[in-house]
Chain A
Amino acid sequence: MTAVESARALRDVTPASPEVEAPPPEVKPEAPKPSKRRSIPSIAPRRRTVDKARYEALTAGRKALLCVDAVTVSFDGFKALDNLTLVLDEGELRCIIGPNGAGKTTLQDVITGKTKPDSGCVFMVGDHTDLTQLDEHEIAQRGICRKFQRPTVFQGHTVFENLELALPGSKGVFASLFARLSRAERERIERTLELIGLTEHAHTRAGLLSHGQKQWLEIGMLLAQEPRVLLVDEPVAGMTHKEMERTAELLNALAGERTVVVVEHDMEFVRSIARTVTVLHEGRVLAEGSMDAVQNDPKVIEVYLGES
């Protein structure tokens, strides 16, 4: 099955499982309050909400989904992100490129909650919560998923169990103590297994899979999670040309239903998938636009393309 077929298959299967499907964002834009899900209270500071005026200004006139607003992160005086503002639209495929130290990884860390910025905020459209105030798992529950550069799966679990853990649903301690796997969920796992070509390996421990199979399993886990935003870090690192093509097809097919952000080093690959490219440099957005426009931008040529 090629990547495009896989993605199409996914599109086909998604509506077939209404029980497990998250409500579409248009109908119910507010994500459930995290405090209700937490079985054990935390003494985290009170949730900050986003400034209304900024929210309107950033999202006006476009189908925005995720906004990074004036984020600054510094490590020991070095500004990894410097007042960075970035708006991602619903269903777009965005490539983020930039030389080493431009802040690409830090940006992903901020969005997924791994790094707390010094100032600025991140929010999703339809929800005024400042995501930088949330923990990683809460951000993940709001539909922002992350694919690590190296495949990260649960090695000691079977492939089936890996996918089971990824399914959306209640993720509190007591909910999972008494969790039962519904038929719809079971079927969903089986379809995902088919999609990633691991049906025969459903009950194999994930640690025994090959490198490529693990990559696909992780992608399957992310898809099972039903993300709204998918952050993909250097997806083609260490891939053959053939695998690269297949990944490009897959990413292209995935965009449209969900926002896909690809952070990549490989310019050839970016050219093959990109519709919109954001160039980061020294923690700021240097240029944004189509690949051609960006490539012809003199500032970009000077700092990035000129170097290589």
Chain B
Amino acid sequence: MTEAAVSKSERESSPTEATASSEATEAQASREVKAPAASRLEPVLSRRGYAIFGALALFSMAIVPILNAAVPADSALHLPDYLVTLFGKFFCYAIVAIAMDLLWGYTGILSLGHGVFFALGGYAMGMYLLRAIGDAGVYRSNLPDFMVFLDWKELPWFWKPMDDFFVACIAVLVVPGMLAYLFGFFAFRSRIRGVYFSIITQALTFALMLLFFRNETGFGGNNGLTDFKHIYGYSLHERSTKLGLYVLSAAGMFVTFLICRFVTTSKAGRVLRAIRDAENRIMFSGYNPTSYKLFVFTLSAVLCGIAGALYVPQVGIINPSEMQPSNSIEMAIWVAVGGRGSLIGAPLGAFAVNGAKSWFTVALPELWLYVLGALFIGVTLFFPKGIWGVLSRSGR
């Protein structure tokens, strides 16, 4: 369909104007084709896009597990277990990066508090995992270990429903979503923008970190929740469970990409970009920027919550340090390094930065923070469109 071709070429050439003229002719060609009665202006993905998407999804969700489980351990192609878990973590980070890009790259809202939504999703899952231990903990009590240790006699009310896996899954979506909705409601209604918004989101994550550090809050204080054993009846130490969690994380990222891509290619996506570029004009065109911002902020918080919930069973711990302001800033760095406003750069950035982090923290641990800082400055100065900007330019 010519429509699709035009929109595709439009999207892909947006960073540079080199193809503007060819676009124009293509566009003219498309106008001659009789337009359908009603159509989306832009397809979610072009046919080529779907092909690449499918290939990547197949590779990560089928080939990687085969390389791990079916290829014998002494083969050169064998993928060790620790790498599977590491990639699983990376996919969780990539979900966060895509959610951040939707908010920052498309809507122009830089949240430096997304770690809090990630951690809340993680805590919701962690609570379930902790309850799933049953009386197999250190103290052989029906209560979680940290409660026995603190001499609590009874399970607090907010812990009770978390025995149920499905309740926990709902909490993973609802808790970060509600916090984002309430926080965003007041922030956007007061028309807090730009750097001020970034600063109060930093304050948000810092405040929640302090809250969660306290034992009285009821989430295990600074030790957090750990020592998990089972998830939905499967042992977390089994290779098959780990592989399953990895596949779920990968699937989560691909679904997240499609959801965000659906949003950005819809008319709502064009409104979001318009809010980023000229908020006054969109307001005087009859759109309410506040509800659009609230929608996208809440959506990205929910996606981060899902990422956190997939992350916790793989790393086996969740504690308040996930809410450190620096963690949230690091999320913004993934997006900046990968390239904003494409939804493709962000996960690339998450993989690249975290890959580098894994290597450096083993090989040269004391250098990592300098490298991260240099990376951020270097990318901002020399590659403002990030890795994806470089790749998409050289690919043409």
CB within 8 Å of B: which residues of A? 38-40, 42-43, 112, 135-138, 140-141, 145-146, 148, 152-158, 161, 164-166, 168, 171-173, 176-183, 186, 190, 200-205, 208, 221, 225
Contact of A154 among B14, B273, B286, B294 (CB under 8 A): B273
Measured CB to CB, the nearest residue on chain B to A143 is B286
Contact assessment for B286 and A137 in the assembled complex, using a CB-CB cutoff below 8 Å: yes
Which residues in B have their C-beta under 8 angstroms from that of A177? 262-263, 266-268
Query: B283 near A152 (CB under 8 angstroms)?
Result: no
**A17 → B minimal CB distance (Å):** 14
23 interchain pairs, CB-CB under 8 A: A39-B295, A40-B291, A112-B284, A136-B283, A137-B285, A137-B289, A152-B281, A153-B278, A153-B281, A154-B278, A161-B270, A165-B267, A165-B285, A166-B285, A171-B287, A173-B292, A176-B266, A176-B268, A179-B267, A182-B37, A201-B24, A202-B27, A204-B20
Chain A residue at minimal CB-CB distance from B24:
A203
Q: A38-B291, A177-B263 are in contact. List 7 more A-B contacts (CB 8 A).
A: A137-B283, A152-B278, A154-B281, A157-B273, A157-B277, A181-B38, A202-B24
Inside 8 A of B282's CB, which chain A residues have their CB?
A: 154, 165
**B274 within 8 A of partner (CB):** yes
Interface of chain B residues 1 through 59 with chain A (CB within 8 A): 6, 10, 14, 17, 20, 23-24, 27, 31, 35-41
5 residue pairs, one from A and one from B, having the closest CB atoms = A179-B267, A180-B38, A140-B286, A203-B27, A176-B267
Asked if B274 and A154 make an inter-chain contact with CB atoms under 8 angstroms apart, the answer reads yes
Could you say which of B20, B40, B189, B273 contacts A181, with CB atoms under 8 Å apart?
B40
From B35, B262, B273, B294, A156 is in contact (CB under 8 Å) with B273
Interface members, chain B 283-331 (any A CB < 8 Å): 283-292, 294-295
By a CB distance below 8 angstroms, the chain A residues around B270 are: 157, 161, 164-165
CB distance from B349 to the nearest CB of A (A): 21
Check A181/B280 contact, CB under 8 A, given A135-B288, A154-B273, A157-B274: no
Give the shortest distance, in Å, between B28 (CB) and chain A (any CB).
8
Q: Name the distance in Å between A162's Cβ and chain B's nearest Cβ.
A: 9
Report B316 CB to chain A, min CB distance, Å: 38
Q: Determine chain B's interface SS by DSSP, over half rule.
A: helix
Say which size band chain B's interface belongs to: 35 or more
- C-alpha gap A205/B281 in the complex (Å): 16
- List residues 185-240 of chain B with CB under 8 A from any CB of chain A: 189
B contact residues around A158 at 8 Å (CB):
10
Collect the chain A residues with CB atoms within 8 Å of residue B295's CB.
Answer: 39-40, 173
Give the shortest distance, in Å, between B215 (CB) and chain A (any CB): 36
A155 touches B277 (CB 8 A): yes
Return chain A residues, CB-CB under 8 Å to B39: 180-181
Q: Are B23 and A145 in contact (CB under 8 A)?
A: no
| Chain B min CB distance to A287 (Å) | 30
Q: With A38-B291, A203-B23 as given contacts, are A171 and B38 in contact (CB-CB < 8 Å)?
A: no
Complex CA gap A136/B285 in Å reads: 9
Q: Which residues of B contact A39 (CB under 8 A)?
A: 291, 295
User: Is B37's CB under 8 angstroms from A140's CB?
Assistant: no
Cβ of B129 within 8 Å of any chain A Cβ, yes or no, is: no
Q: Which residues of B contact A164 (CB under 8 A)?
A: 41, 267, 270
Q: Is B271 an interface residue (CB 8 A)?
A: yes
Contact of A165 among B10, B274, B276, B290 (CB under 8 A): B274
Provide the bound-state CA to CA distance between A157 and B11, in Å.
Answer: 10
Once A176-B271, A203-B24 are accepted as A-B contacts, the answer to whether A183 and B38 lie under 8 Å apart by CB is: yes
Q: B13's closest neighbor in chain A, by CB?
A: A205
Q: A182 — nearest CB in chain B belongs to which residue?
A: B38
Cα–Cα, bound, A260→B359 (Å): 66
A171 to B288, CA, bound (A): 8
What chain A residues lie within 8 Å of B189 (beta carbons)?
42-43
Cα distance A190–B282 in the bound complex, in angstroms:
21
Inter-chain contacts of A152 with B (CB < 8 A): 278, 280-281
Give Cα A40 to B186, complex, Å: 13
Pair B285/A225 contact, Cβ less than 8 Å: yes
In the complex the two chains form, is B273's CB within 8 Å of A208's CB?
no
The answer for the CA separation of A165 and B280 in the assembled complex, in Å, is: 13
* Contact A146 B284, CB 8 Å, known A39-B291, A153-B278, A186-B35: yes
B179 to chain A, nearest CB (A): 16
Chain A residues in 8 Å Cβ range of B267 = 164-165, 176-177, 179
Interface residues of B in 80-103 (CB under 8 A from A): none
B284: chain A residues at CB < 8 Å are 112, 136-137, 140, 145-146
Q: Which residues of B contact A186 (CB under 8 A)?
A: 35
Interchain nearest-CB distance for A258 vs B (Å): 16
Q: Which residues of B contact A172 (CB under 8 A)?
A: 288, 291
Contact A180–B40 (Cβ < 8 Å): yes
A171 to B286 alpha-carbon distance, docked (Å): 7
Smallest Cβ distance from B54 to chain A, in angstroms?
24
Interface hits, B145-199 → A, CB 8 Å: 189
Q: A174 CB to closest chain B CB, in angstroms?
A: 8
CA distance A39 to B37 in the complex (A): 26
Chain A residues contacting B290 (CB-CB under 8 Å) are 40, 42
Q: Is the CB of B40 within 8 A of A208?
A: no
Residues from chain A with a CB closer than 8 A to the CB of B6 are 203
Chain B nearest CB, measured from A64 CB (Å): 23
Give the shortest distance, in Å, between B8 (CB) and chain A (any CB).
Answer: 12
Set of chain A residues within 8 Å of B262, measured between Cβ atoms: 177
For B17, the chain A residues whose CB sits under 8 A away are 205, 208
Interface centre among B6, B38, B276 (most CB of A within 10 A): B38
Q: In the complex, A200→B25 CA distance in Å?
A: 9
Interfacial chain A residues near B36, Cβ < 8 Å? 183
Give every chain B residue within 8 A of A168 (Cβ-Cβ).
286
> Beyond A40-B291, A152-B280, is A173–B37 a contact (Cβ under 8 Å)?
no
